Amino acid sequence: MGTNQTLVIAHRGAKGEAPENTLGAFRLGLEQGCDAIELDIHLTKDDEIIVIHDSTLDRTTDMTGSIYDMTLEEIKKADAGRWFNEKYEGERIPTLEEVFDLVPADVMINVEIKHSTQGILEPLLLELMKRKDRMHNVVVSAFDYRNLLCLKQLAPETKVGLLYDVNNGSNSALIDSFEAAVYSLHPNYKGIDKEKVSDAIALGLQVYPWTINDESDMAQAIDYGVSGIITDYPGRLRDLLQLAIR
Ligand code: G3P
Ligand code: MG
């Protein structure tokens, strides 16, 4: 097995046991000892950065509709917890600022940009990260590398991570185009192997595969030497890492 250096990254919070992307899910991840939190962001109609995976309210709240057509005040009326479990009734869709206020400064936050258009969200995100003193421990990732290029042009010190799926290969061309300005790779775990991971680590990159929930898959990724694992079950991964160092 690997070492206890593998970061436990709570996917949308402790998504397996709490309603995703809510303060309740982030609190549970923290209680379970996560080192980092992954979350997804979009912009509302009135340009507020909110934490939600989908671009509509339909799947994860008791309301429906596109978040791009609603203000933050309207979106805050939605219950984002009850669909998951009655005990989470009253959870709201958080703003990113609310999450920054909740999560201790020593816990890394992986902010994934889901908003597809470039140019509006990025300066707002950087303003918030700077105002909340989060530039050093936030990694911003996106499947669309143009979001990341935009951030790097505005603030070269931003830590950015390339997200990709199995069909996108190793993304080596993209890594080259960023001229080593990439902090981390975020591959679908089904597309990694020991060689790919060690090549990336040798380049000085962090490797954070997603989304690993099965213990045997977690153990394999640890054996490959990944820098962290994005999981819906941070408690499970924490337990596995504890066992490995005994
Ligand atoms: O950031 C890793 C993972 O969250 C990417 O996929 O759809 O869960 O946001 P998704
Ligand atoms: Mg995500």
Q: At residue 154, does pLDDT exceed 80?
A: yes
Q: Percentage of the chain with pLDDT > 70?
A: 93
CATH for 137 = 3.20.20.190
Cα 98 → chain centroid = 16
Q: At residue 171, does pLDDT exceed 80?
A: no
Collect all residues with Cβ–Cβ distance below 8 Å to 50 and sequence separation of at least 6. Answer: 41, 42, 43, 44, 67, 72, 75, 93, 94, 95, 96
Q: Which of 37, 53, 164 to mutate to test the pocket of ligand 1 (most atoms within 8 A of CB)?
A: 53
In a domain, 17, yes or no: yes
d(CA 228, CA 5): 8
Collect all residues with Cβ–Cβ distance below 8 Å to 173 and sequence separation of at least 6. Answer: none
Task: Establish whether this prediction's ipTM goes over 0.90.
Answer: yes
Respond yes or no: is residue 115 known to be catalytic: no
Q: Which of 38, 166, 213 to mutate to test the pocket of ligand 1 (most atoms within 8 A of CB)?
A: 38
In a domain, 225, yes or no: yes
Respond yes or no: is residue 53 known to be catalytic: yes
Q: At residue 241, does pLDDT exceed 80?
A: yes
Q: Which two tokens stand for residue 232?
A: 């819906």
Distance 21 CA to ligand 2 centre (A): 9
Question: CB burial class (10 A; 0-12, 13-18, 19+) of residue 244?
Answer: middle
In a domain, 119, yes or no: yes
Nearest protein CA to atom 2 of ligand 1, as residue: 210
Strand partners, 67: none
Query: What ligand 1 atom has the least distance to the C-alpha of 38?
Result: 1
- Amino acid (1-letter code) at residue 149: L
Q: Which of 233, 243, 241, 240 is nearest to 10 (CA)?
A: 233
Q: At residue 2, does pLDDT exceed 50?
A: no
Taking the CA of 186 as reference, the closest ligand is 1
In a domain, 229, yes or no: yes
Residue with tokens 């709201």: 92
Higher-pLDDT residue of 223 and 173 is 223
pLDDT at residue 1, rounded to an integer: 40
Q: At residue 180, does pLDDT exceed 60?
A: no
**22-76, pLDDT tens digit by residue?**
999 999 999 999 999 999 999 999 999 999 999 999 999 999 999 999 999 999 9
pTM score, whole prediction: 0.95
Helices 215-224 and 234-245 cross at an angle (nearest 10°) of 60
Q: Which two tokens stand for residue 10?
A: 């709570």
> pLDDT band for position 175 (50/70/90)?
low
Taking the CA of 139 as reference, the closest ligand is 1
Is the beta carbon of 210 within 6 A of some atom in ligand 1? yes
- Cα pseudo-dihedral 151, 152, 154, 155, rounded to 10: 110
Q: At residue 155, does pLDDT exceed 90?
A: yes
Is the beta carbon of 112 within 6 A of some atom in ligand 1? yes
Contact 45, 68 (CB under 8 A): yes
Distance 211 CA to ligand 2 centre (A): 9
In a domain, 86, yes or no: no
Is the beta carbon of 35 within 6 A of some atom in ligand 1? no
Distance 233 CA to ligand 1 centre (A): 14
In a domain, 129, yes or no: yes
In a domain, 100, yes or no: yes
pLDDT at residue 96, rounded to an integer: 98
In a domain, 123, yes or no: yes
Q: Which residues surround ligand 2, an ion (CB under 5 A)?
A: 40, 112
Q: How many domains does the chain have?
A: 1
Q: At residue 3, does pLDDT exceed 50?
A: no
Range of the domain at 181: 7-54+94-245
Helical H segments across 32-95, by residue range: 72-75
Among 3-12, 130-139, 147-156, 193-202, the least confident range: 3-12
**117-129, pLDDT tens digit by residue?**
779 999 999 999 9
Distance 47 CA to ligand 1 centre (A): 22
